[in-house]
Amino acid sequence: MQAQEELVRRRLVHKSPNGKKRVFSSSHCLSNIVYCGECGELYRRIHWYNRGKKSIVWRCISRLETTSANVSCHNRTVPESRLEQVLVKAINRTICDKDDFLAVLQKNIETVLSHGNDRALADIEKRLKELQAELLKLAASNTDYEKVGNEIYRLRDEKQKALMESANRNEVKKRIADMGAFLRDQPTEITEYDESLVRRLIEKVTVYEDKFVVEFKSGVKVDVDE
Ligand SMILES: [Zn+2]
């Protein structure tokens, strides 16, 4: 399931601030999650050759595409090793302050639950059944049933929306619960960068001049200062 979600996430199209649509197929763990705090673009992974020395860095796409010069971004270039350290730091912060973070997660779960609309969905389904019965009756007696038909279409749309909202809520609940499970199971700080853990926990990293903001899939945020 986790892998499936990951695939869906990677197929998402990012709409740039300048209106360009970007689709990335890169399978690198940090692709599509590192964002520029200055212009809102994604960061892209680059192999850098400097005086015969190879290194891997991440740079804001606006800076790489000089042709799309409307966006003039000056945000910094970040070595990949630095990004990895930042993620280790952010994850360790949640492990160190486990109790505080678990309390935040509990609150987030309650917020998600309080936005439930399962009642609304049941009401829509009940009304749909009634209207369908009415439609049959009207059709059988050759009475005009256009109004009822339109109402049925409208309610079907509404039902679809309610179903999607409910699925989203379940997804968010799952993410929050997963982070809770991670925190409870992890006794000590992690000592090195762990790609699978990043895929599991991290939603987004935003690069600013003086800090990184790491957002977890569960909704909690951690600032890592320079
Ligand atoms: Zn930028």
The pLDDT value given to residue 71: 55
Q: How far is the CA of 41 from the centre of ligand 1 (A)?
A: 5
Tokens representing 115 are 């936005």
pTM (whole model) above 0.85: no
Tokens representing 121 are 């969905």
The pLDDT value given to residue 24: 54
Tokens representing 141 are 């007696």
Tokens representing 148 are 């009822």
The pLDDT value given to residue 20: 62
- Say which amino acid occupies 31: S
Q: How far is the CA of 197 from the centre of ligand 1 (A)?
A: 27
The pLDDT value given to residue 27: 75
Alpha helices in 72-142 (DSSP H): 80-96, 98-114, 118-140
Residue identified by tokens 């689709």 is 23
Q: How far is the CA of 75 from the centre of ligand 1 (A)?
A: 5
The pLDDT value given to residue 42: 94
- Say which amino acid occupies 184: R
Q: Which residues are found with C-beta within 5 Å of the ion, ligand 1? A: 36, 38-39, 41, 60, 62, 73, 75
The pLDDT value given to residue 64: 79
pLDDT tens-digit profile, the chain (226 residues)? 344 454 444 445 566 666 666 655 567 899 999 999 999 999 999 998 888 889 999 999 988 776 655 657 889 999 999 999 999 999 999 999 999 999 999 998 888 887 777 778 889 999 999 999 999 999 899 888 899 999 999 999 999 998 888 888 889 899 999 999 999 999 999 999 999 999 999 999 999 999 999 999 999 999 999 8
Tokens representing 216 are 């977890």
Return the bridge partners of 72, or none: none
